[in-house]
Amino acid sequence: MPTVILLDVSLSMSQPLPVPDTDKISLTRNNLAVHGINAFLDYLATYSKLEFVALIAFSSLYEVVCGFTRDYETIKTKLLQIEEFDKTCIETALHGVNQLVLGEWGNNTPCQVLLVTDGKTGVGPLSLKHSLSTCNQRDLINPFPLPFSFPGKLIVSFIATADDPSLVINKKYYQRLVDMAGPDGTLYKPEGVGLEALSLNNITTTFQKIAEECYTSFKGTISCGNLTSQVFISPAPMPYTKVTDFTKERFTVSHDIKICGFISVADIGSPMAISRHLVLPLAINNQEGNAVVKTESTGGDTSSEGEDCLNDEGKYPSFCVLLHGALKVENVAALVLLNTNWYGFLYSWADTKKKSNLMLTVMMPGSTSIPWLGDLNNLGVPESNNGGSDMLAPPFPIKPTDKKSYSQNCVVWIKQSGLQSDIQKILRHARKLPEKTQQFYKELNRIRRAAISLGFMELLDGLAFIFERECTLLPGNIHPDCTMQLSHAASELRKAHNRDIKVNVMPLHTKF
């Protein structure tokens, strides 16, 4: 999953430390942090090359040093160019993480945040202690950044020893911060006591331990009848917790993924999913036993022929490659059983015209995760019956083709640009009054109902202010009905009885 590295570049991180294993050369905590991050990136480059990593440096403000990338060498280069700044403000950095992840991945992609700091919390109103004491007093304009706006967890790595006075005092604040971010967060610190613990080897070991525990690769087996293939799934599927009114269930993806059947991609559509993953076949050396069996059956030299087979992966048959090609050509998806009563789909997905990949979509737990297919446990092989017209009937309930009699589509504002475009559409109609009177009030009532449904009453006041401002900016040759209708709409939006969703704002009757 994507990772954001938060590096503390406050003045306390530039404090020189006498480290024994560097021949009395004074290193700073910042030097140790950069060394540990480099070790973390080296681990990802070896074992998790597909992970996206971003780097943010922070003190009282934050700076996105490097956006999400797989080019770890670029991050290493920019690490050497970071300068120290003023005091620590972790809350500001967490706000930056939310903005960066939401802008790049949205609010459904799980991400990990690695905070690298010296254990100090800052001073004054920007300190972590003050932020946690006032987190329950925030309003909607200035909310506390935790829990994250996306599924994520916070990992804190201290560049400090266990007996460091600052860490002893402030550890409880960081623990509370991790607990607010999510249930899987952890605190890490170098092993040992005293300055000997702040050695380059200990820092490297600590960051490698973080990488090993947080980026464990998921290796499993895909089977279809007698055909099997060992695969590598990236990113590793996370356990899913399903919370109901009275129960709480935790689901984990099994390492033995079984294909139940195949279904057209058009029938699947775009159902709600938990996550998507890239499926890759494991290297040939993980299936060395199969190569040896093949050579023994021919009676030849097992050692020489086995080595030749391992050296040429293109000559070794792979069910994963066969499955990907078949799904791509037939335009179908494979329904797979991830665990008891938990399903997913394997399908071919292409990000470009020349390259396609085998993808796994993890559905919501349960057999009714795709409503238009009905209960997935009841799906079966289509039967021809008598060979009549019944052959064309689908063997499962599908989404009806008839269109609903809804007059308008529902309003959805995911990004700021969507709301801005709706307001601009109203203003375009307003400048063409009185010809566009009907369209103006239709769009106005549509947005007004959506704002009332969402409790977004500030939008109504904002629209009224925009209409009044437009009246003052209209050119002199504009139709007089335009000014009158805009003033009427602004006054109607401010009236209390028009805050009812069942009431529509009607046009002003004029002589024009």
Residue whose entry in the numeric block shows the structure tokens 């100090």: 120
Q: Tell me, yes or no, whether 236 and 254 share the same domain.
A: yes
In a domain, 408, yes or no: no
Q: What is the pLDDT along the chain (512 residues), one digit of tens a residue?
A: 789 999 999 999 988 876 555 455 578 899 999 999 999 999 999 888 888 999 999 999 999 999 999 999 999 999 999 988 989 999 999 999 999 999 998 887 889 999 999 999 988 888 999 999 998 888 777 889 998 988 888 999 999 988 888 899 999 999 999 999 987 789 999 987 777 788 889 999 999 999 988 877 788 999 998 999 999 898 888 888 887 778 888 889 999 999 999 998 888 888 888 888 899 898 654 444 343 333 333 333 434 444 444 445 567 788 999 999 999 999 999 999 999 999 999 999 987 667 889 999 999 999 888 888 888 888 877 665 445 444 455 555 555 565 655 555 677 787 777 888 888 888 888 888 888 888 889 989 989 988 888 888 888 989 999 988 888 888 878 888 888 888 999 998 888 888 888 888 888 887 76
Pick left, alpha or beta for residue 507 (phi over 0 → left; psi -120 to 50 → alpha; otherwise beta): beta
Residues 256, 140, single domain; the answer is no
Indicate whether 399 belongs to any domain: no
- How many residues comprise the chain? 512
Reported pTM: 0.62
pLDDT at 140: 74
Q: Which two tokens stand for residue 199?
A: 């050695």
Count Cβ atoms below 10 Å from residue 507 Cβ, excluding itself: 18
Q: Residue 401 belongs to what H/E stretch?
A: none
CA distance linking residue 286 with residue 217, whole number of Å: 14
CA 294, chain centre distance (Å) = 44
Q: What is the pLDDT of residue 308?
A: 47
Confirm whether 431 is domain-assigned: yes
243 and 166 housed in the same domain: no
Residue 105 lies in a domain: yes
pLDDT given for residue 317 in this prediction: 84
Are residues 154 and 178 part of one domain? yes
* 186: in domain: yes
Show Cβ contacts of residue 360 under 8 Å, excluding neighbours closer than 6 positions.
233, 237, 276, 277, 278, 279, 336, 344, 345, 346
Work out the angle at residue 13's Cα, subtended by the Cα atoms of residues 37 and 64, and round it to the nearest 5 degrees: 55
Q: What pLDDT was estimated at residue 21?
A: 52
Does 335 fall in a domain?
A: yes
- Check whether residue 96 and residue 80 sit in a common domain: yes
197 and 107 part of one domain: yes
Same domain, 80 and 173: yes
> Residue 411 domain-assigned?
no
**Rg of the chain over CA atoms, in angstroms?**
30
CATH number at residue 265: 2.40.290
Q: Does the residue 407 lie in any domain?
A: no
Question: What CATH number is given to the structural domain containing 206?
Answer: 3.40.50.410
Query: Within this chain, do residues 21 and 127 fall inside the same structural domain, yes or no?
Result: yes
Of 214, 231, 255, which one is at a domain's C-terminal end?
Answer: 214
Which of 193, 214, 235 marks a domain boundary?
214
Whole-angstrom distance, CA of residue 475 vs CA of residue 466: 16
Mark whether 225 and 207 lie in a shared domain.
Answer: no
Domain boundary among 175, 193, 214: 214
**Domains in the chain, number:** 3
Pair (185, 330) in one structural domain = no
Residues 175 and 241 both lie in one domain: no
State residue 454's pLDDT score.
87
Q: Residue 154's domain spans which residues?
A: 3-214
Q: Are 191 and 225 found together in one domain?
A: no
